[in-house]
A and B are shown apart, each in its own frame.
Chain A
């Protein structure tokens, strides 16, 4: 073993180190454009605009010259998956570093060409000029300067004060297209000669297709092919309504047998705790000296399975040319999807090109990857023509992966003064990630349906070093003297689960922040003061102070109105967020106002950050007040907007966001910061209003009644 001294040498950002060739990120074209080619994709979060801001800033070009390229395995840097609120952290830092070096490379070349010292050169909108009116430009030099070289650490990016764009709110580049009906969505795209496909899936989960009569579907005008491979069946038609009609005929002529039974929905916690599971100790802390405990308080909190419920059903297009296939997809990871397709198709990855196109808002691993394989399988029967496949609303709500249900127990030993001496946090949950491209087996739905099937991938959890999965945000940010955190990952998975926004953080923050409120109430201590007393991190204290101040904490008690606080630092390493919720009501809870303070370090596009926080807060309110995947023993029953309602305009709270600007700190993602704190703040506000502690989400009339009954 060697004792390497900690190196102070500059290092490349992780995405740039993995994809060092500068020209894979940035190219100049003679007509005066800069092409920026990130590996992260637009999923409604505004990343394309933030990256364009960063590039324009570092290169000193007008943002109008920046052309953003959609990710494709044909040439984009491989940045894995667009998830975990890491796009600005990973892609943003890589683009900034690459541009800083490229700027330096061009300044060197300009200095040679113009015979002027680098120090005397200036760049304005891509034109490099020096004393005596000598000038050249990126575009003029582009032919002589090769960027087909590896990035080297050391180039210095601009300081915050030197940046003109990053740090300032900018209108998002994609929004005009979306309000003027210019097609950007994969759903609105067509290809020459395109056919339409539909896949037949049972309302039962993992059902077996025992019999399929094809005559009815064959009689439908426009039918091109019926594809059947084991339990996978689908149709290809000349037209979309022809595909729908053929699918309808096929559905009538299909006989299914039930797959693995689903758990009892009314006893989720018992189900989760009774399953075979893998136990991991996530973290331990010990003071070394034992504290006299006088009593122990234990509580259990649960959250249900949650659906992504994107407004658009998933969609993909695929086209075969001999043994090569091209896929258009709204997947979060083009390379990862390609890896899984290669496993299913038994083809080398070189034969598969996966190209990103925008879909509707994506909140994690939904059916985007599944429908891509569906399209690939159906397109095999299309004689080289492209096939577009779109899922039904019903399939989207029942066959796509869900966010995993969780049961969380927290136990605190209190000393004689009622202070927390010991803290234990235990989680029972399926894994929160079964994404494609990361295992020796594919994670795609149709792969489990083929005549020679792949096993269904049981969800796992990312390691804590990457933010964790079920255990995300389970380690307290509070300075308790000792704790033990453990996670039981289920080894069975009757209800399919994978990554949903925040993974386990929403459940854990709900549990921790609710429990803290309960402990503060036991002591009759103000919840804000109680938290501040246990926090050492000044940035954490700052967001709590800011939210409390802005919400005028704590307003005078009024009947039927309550206020609650929730706080977390996402993944314990990302954005800080504190929320004060104001709720009213008795039987039906209404969230009136959410007052939020957030610290994302350097905010590249402040309005974009605020938009993400507002959106996350409203989505979390929907999760808390309305959402719960419903099922019986055979299948998912909440497969429409009526059976899986989400928050409507008339129910949306007012949301105020205060952004604590820290231009000198690393930029941190904003997309998932609000969900946990908002959830906890609402639950705590409900307790404040009604003196009823709801520990089982969602907070509905039923759960309020159940909570009242169990406490009486």
Chain B
């Protein structure tokens, strides 16, 4: 098997595995990258969202072969405690979660939105997150956090 290569959080990565396996399975089971969470396995909840190219996709419903030569970003690649992404800072500032299990996917959906649309309206944020489910009811805080991050990124 020749393997499939892609850039994972900016790092060239070669995976020698069945190309039909899901990206989620490769990330978690093969590479030990746990930022994307399993929620349903059916592209219905968004807990496993990652960014491929410029779009948030459900890693559970993305075959490995389809990311060949592409850029894949998981929550680990968004930022870290030393150098946080504005979205991560904003989610802390707004205390925008309760259990936080859905948040890794929501941060990725939000990050993809801000790449496409750096100045979204509240309605646009909600539309971009509409395929992400949150059971604890932190939706409004999350929308505020995304708007806060957008404002911070737009500030000179």
Given contacts A181-B104, A649-B126, contact A312 B98 (CB under 8 A): no
Determine the distance from Cα of A360 to Cα of B40 in the docked complex, in whole angstroms: 13
What total of A-B pairs shows CB separation below 8 Å?
163
Are A646 and B37 neighbours in the complex by a CB distance under 8 Å?
no
B81 adjacent to chain A (CB < 8 Å): yes
Most buried by A among B40, B44, B127, B138: B40
**Interfacial residues of chain A within 298-329, with CB under 8 A of chain B in the complex:** 309-313
A700 adjacent to chain B (CB < 8 Å): no
Are B139 and A393 neighbours in the complex by a CB distance under 8 Å?
no
Determine the distance from Cα of A647 to Cα of B131 in the docked complex, in whole angstroms: 11
A641 adjacent to chain B (CB < 8 Å): yes
Determine the distance from Cα of A172 to Cα of B96 in the docked complex, in whole angstroms: 10
B97 adjacent to chain A (CB < 8 Å): yes
A179 adjacent to chain B (CB < 8 Å): yes
Are A619 and B136 neighbours in the complex by a CB distance under 8 Å?
yes
Q: A674 → chain B, closest Cβ, in Å?
A: 9
Are B140 and A652 neighbours in the complex by a CB distance under 8 Å?
yes
Are B38 and A390 neighbours in the complex by a CB distance under 8 Å?
yes
Main secondary structure of the interface of B (DSSP, over half): loop
Q: A627 → chain B, closest Cβ, in Å?
A: 11
Q: A73 → chain B, closest Cβ, in Å?
A: 23
Interface size class of B (residues with CB under 8 A): 35 or more
Determine the distance from Cα of A650 to Cα of B121 in the docked complex, in whole angstroms: 13
Determine the distance from Cα of A648 to Cα of B104 in the docked complex, in whole angstroms: 17
B137 contact from A187, A241, A614, A642, Cβ within 8 A? A614
Given contacts A649-B139, A650-B126, contact A180 B38 (CB under 8 A): no
**Interfacial residues of chain B within 26-83, with CB under 8 A of chain A in the complex:** 28-29, 32, 34-35, 37-42, 44-45, 47, 74-76, 79-81
What residues on A are CB-neighbors of B91 within 8 Å? 175, 179
What residues on A are CB-neighbors of B76 within 8 Å? 181
Are A311 and B102 neighbours in the complex by a CB distance under 8 Å?
yes
Are B95 and A172 neighbours in the complex by a CB distance under 8 Å?
yes
**Interfacial residues of chain A within 172-186, with CB under 8 A of chain B in the complex:** 172, 174-176, 178-181, 183-185
What residues on B are CB-neighbors of A649 within 8 Å? 125-127, 129-130, 132, 134, 139, 142-143
What residues on A are CB-neighbors of B38 within 8 Å? 187, 312-313, 390
Are B134 and A311 neighbours in the complex by a CB distance under 8 Å?
yes
Are A178 and B130 neighbours in the complex by a CB distance under 8 Å?
no
A393 contact from B41, B130, B137, Cβ within 8 A? B41
Are B140 and A310 neighbours in the complex by a CB distance under 8 Å?
no
What residues on A are CB-neighbors of B101 within 8 Å? 44, 185, 187, 310-312, 359-361
- 1/0 per residue, CB under 8 A from A, across B1-40: the answer is 0000000000000000000010001001100101101111
A260 adjacent to chain B (CB < 8 Å): no
What residues on B are CB-neighbors of A176 within 8 Å? 81, 92
Most buried by A among B25, B44, B133, B136: B136
**Interfacial residues of chain A within 150-196, with CB under 8 A of chain B in the complex:** 171-172, 174-176, 178-181, 183-185, 187-188, 190
Determine the distance from Cα of A618 to Cα of B99 in the docked complex, in whole angstroms: 15
Determine the distance from Cα of A614 to Cα of B138 in the docked complex, in whole angstroms: 7
Are A178 and B137 neighbours in the complex by a CB distance under 8 Å?
no
Are A615 and B137 neighbours in the complex by a CB distance under 8 Å?
yes
Are A175 and B25 neighbours in the complex by a CB distance under 8 Å?
no
Q: A624 → chain B, closest Cβ, in Å?
A: 13
Are B99 and A360 neighbours in the complex by a CB distance under 8 Å?
yes
Given contacts A175-B91, A649-B129, contact A181 B35 (CB under 8 A): yes
Given contacts A390-B38, A393-B40, contact A180 B135 (CB under 8 A): no
Q: A110 → chain B, closest Cβ, in Å?
A: 36
Q: B13 → chain A, closest Cβ, in Å?
A: 17
Closest to B18 in A: A241
- 1/0 per residue, CB under 8 A from B, across A281-313: the answer is 000000000000000000000000000011111
What residues on A are CB-neighbors of B125 within 8 Å? 649
A310 contact from B21, B81, B131, B135, Cβ within 8 A? B135
What residues on A are CB-neighbors of B123 within 8 Å? 650
B141 adjacent to chain A (CB < 8 Å): yes
- 1/0 per residue, CB under 8 A from B, across A608-637: the answer is 100110111111001000000000000000
* Interface residue tally for chain A (C-beta within 8 Å): 58
Determine the distance from Cα of A175 to Cα of B81 in the docked complex, in whole angstroms: 11
- 1/0 per residue, CB under 8 A from B, across A40-64: the answer is 0001111000000000000000000
Given contacts A179-B107, A615-B137, A640-B42, contact A174 B100 (CB under 8 A): yes
- 1/0 per residue, CB under 8 A from A, across B114-156: the answer is 0000000001011101111111111111110000000000000
Closest to A616 in B: B137
Determine the distance from Cα of A178 to Cα of B135 in the docked complex, in whole angstroms: 16
Most buried by A among B127, B133, B143: B133
A116 adjacent to chain B (CB < 8 Å): no
Are A641 and B44 neighbours in the complex by a CB distance under 8 Å?
yes
Are B130 and A617 neighbours in the complex by a CB distance under 8 Å?
no
B112 adjacent to chain A (CB < 8 Å): no
A254 adjacent to chain B (CB < 8 Å): no
Are A648 and B99 neighbours in the complex by a CB distance under 8 Å?
no
Are B29 and A646 neighbours in the complex by a CB distance under 8 Å?
no
A658 adjacent to chain B (CB < 8 Å): no
Given contacts A649-B126, A649-B132, contact A618 B34 (CB under 8 A): no
Q: B8 → chain A, closest Cβ, in Å?
A: 13
What residues on A are CB-neighbors of B127 within 8 Å? 649-650
Closest to A189 in B: B34
- 1/0 per residue, CB under 8 A from B, across A644-671: the answer is 0011111010110000000000000000
What residues on B are CB-neighbors of A183 within 8 Å? 34
Most buried by A among B42, B45, B75, B135: B135
B136 contact from A44, A240, A642, Cβ within 8 A? A44
Closest to B46 in A: A311
Q: A256 → chain B, closest Cβ, in Å?
A: 22
What residues on B are CB-neighbors of A542 within 8 Å? none
Are B44 and A642 neighbours in the complex by a CB distance under 8 Å?
yes
What residues on B are CB-neighbors of A187 within 8 Å? 34, 37-38, 101
Determine the distance from Cα of A650 to Cα of B136 in the docked complex, in whole angstroms: 16
Determine the distance from Cα of A338 to Cα of B95 in the docked complex, in whole angstroms: 34
What residues on A are CB-neighbors of B84 within 8 Å? 179-180
Given contacts A361-B99, A619-B136, A652-B139, contact A312 B25 (CB under 8 A): no
Determine the distance from Cα of A184 to Cα of B97 in the docked complex, in whole angstroms: 14
Are A618 and B139 neighbours in the complex by a CB distance under 8 Å?
yes
Given contacts A312-B47, A392-B41, A616-B137, contact A648 B35 (CB under 8 A): no
What residues on B are CB-neighbors of A646 within 8 Å? 133, 135
B140 contact from A184, A312, A614, Cβ within 8 A? A614
Determine the distance from Cα of A655 to Cα of B138 in the docked complex, in whole angstroms: 11
Q: A5 → chain B, closest Cβ, in Å?
A: 46
What residues on B are CB-neighbors of A190 within 8 Å? 32
**Could you jot down 22 A-B contacts, CB within 8 Å?**
A44-B98, A44-B136, A175-B91, A176-B81, A178-B100, A179-B103, A183-B34, A187-B101, A309-B135, A311-B39, A311-B101, A359-B101, A607-B95, A614-B137, A614-B140, A618-B138, A619-B135, A640-B44, A641-B40, A641-B42, A649-B127, A649-B129
Q: Which residues of A contact B (CB under 8 A)?
A: 43-46, 171-172, 174-176, 178-181, 183-185, 187-188, 190, 239-241, 309-313, 358-363, 390, 392-393, 607-608, 611-612, 614-619, 622, 640-642, 646-650, 652, 654-655
The list of the 8 closest CB pairs from A to B, nearest first, reads: A44-B99, A618-B137, A178-B100, A615-B137, A361-B99, A360-B101, A188-B34, A181-B35
